[in-house]
Amino acid sequence: RLATAKRKTRIIPRDKGDVESTSLLSWDDLVNYDFDIIELAKKLPNWIESSVLYGNGIVKLAWKMKSRKKSDGSFKTLYDDPTMILCDLWDFLPAPETEDLQEGCPWLIHRIIKTKEKITKEEESRGENNIYKNLEFCESKVVEDWKKERYEINTKKMSQIDGDIKKADTGEQKVLPVKNDQEKQLELWECWDYEEDELVVIANGEVVVRDDENPYLDINDGHIFVDLPDMSLLWEFWATGHVEPVESTIMEIADLRNQRMDDVILMLDPVVKIRKDTGITKNDIIFSPGAVWELRKMDDVVIERPPEISLMGLNEDKLLRDEISRTLALGEYLQGMPRSSSEPLGKVAMLLGQSNLRLSINA
């Protein structure tokens, strides 16, 4: 609902002097314009998804200037507006004692990986407003990827959550996102010092390419990173996402599904005991429609099938999924699926309100 709802912002007067102010409507238009120009409607779902999955969703609100050099040597402005960037949590390093980004954060580091050619091109597009220096002393290198573990987790299937990737004998292979590990790039560390009000950018841990006063010091005291925590923890910056409380239950569902699949395989291809000296080989025992086995005695071949657990597994699977719904307050009423069409409207509204109240604790 939060991600898909169409939003319209309106500025509310705070005191009597603001009630008849003619600038309120202009502020409404400006705020809605800013939301449109930073593509909030497009980026908000990803912001919320980061918060729900990992516990925190962090965006960087900055100002972007882009220009193009004309043939006469002058510059034409192509973009001069705010911008919003969703930060990768693996590249975001706040001070260890940080509890809140707006208050109590002495410093933080935002890691940016770009090719030198792209950085140089961006500098050219800024025209006379260049922000980097000493780029000629920076040499591109193969940068260590901090996100390999996340790539592996994201590509694992449900049946691979609690085990190793199956080998080639099963026909399954490990598939990771296409990443060029040998591409040479620059590793930029944006060091935001909120105690000294400075912004220092270091390339490859060696060359200082920027050392300026915080350019956003007049806006929210220079704090341009906004955190959207899911379920906050006392005295902690990193919050808990919706997945973590039910992670063990998800593992149980994966294990149970693996057991059901193994059970089905054993039912279709059971263990066969063949008496010695009967002249029967395993190649003679074929499970197919119309198959004929020639036996001297009925107990020359004995088929051992495991107990049927598919139905029991389905019931347990439903119980585990219901446990996830209860833990996350995602009942059938919240999903718009009442148990019966004959239930009173007041009852449905009451239960829906209770679900919304539980979810509001996390919002």
pLDDT band at 159 (very low <50, low <70, confident <90, very high): very low
The answer as to whether 166 is a domain residue is no
Q: Which two tokens stand for residue 154?
A: 């994201």
Residues of the domain holding 318: 247-329
The answer as to whether 64 is a domain residue is yes
Query: pLDDT for 66-91, tens place per residue?
Result: 888 788 877 788 888 999 999 999 99
pLDDT band at 94 (very low <50, low <70, confident <90, very high): very high
Q: Which residues, other chains included, contact 254 with Cβ-Cβ below 8 Å and sequence gap of 6+?
A: 158, 159, 161, 162
Distance (Å) of CA 244 to CA 251, 276, 279, 289, 360 = 11, 54, 58, 48, 18
The answer as to whether 285 is a domain residue is yes
Residues 61 and 86 in one domain: yes
Higher-confidence residue of 96 and 11: namely 96
Residues 257 and 234 in one domain: no
Residues 259 and 362 in one domain: no
Higher-confidence residue of 293 and 357: namely 293
Question: Residue 242's pLDDT is what?
Answer: 85
**Range 197-203 average pLDDT:** 96
Question: Residue 360's pLDDT is what?
Answer: 54
Question: Residue 264's pLDDT is what?
Answer: 82
Contact 110, 94 (CB under 8 A): no
Lowest-confidence pick of 233-247, 313-327, 348-362 = 348-362
Q: Measuring CA to CA, which residue among 240, 209, 21, 217 is closest to residue 130?
A: 209
Residues 94 and 218 in one domain: yes
The answer as to whether 22 is a domain residue is no
Contact 121, 238 (CB under 8 A): no
Question: Residue 171's pLDDT is what?
Answer: 47
Is the pTM value of this prediction over 0.85?
A: no
Question: Residue 61's pLDDT is what?
Answer: 96
- In this model, does residue 157 exceed pLDDT 90? no
The answer as to whether 336 is a domain residue is yes
Question: Residue 310's pLDDT is what?
Answer: 75
Rounded to whole angstroms, how far apart are CA atoms 176 and 153? 10
Please give the tally of structural domains in the chain.
3
- In this model, does residue 363 exceed pLDDT 50? no
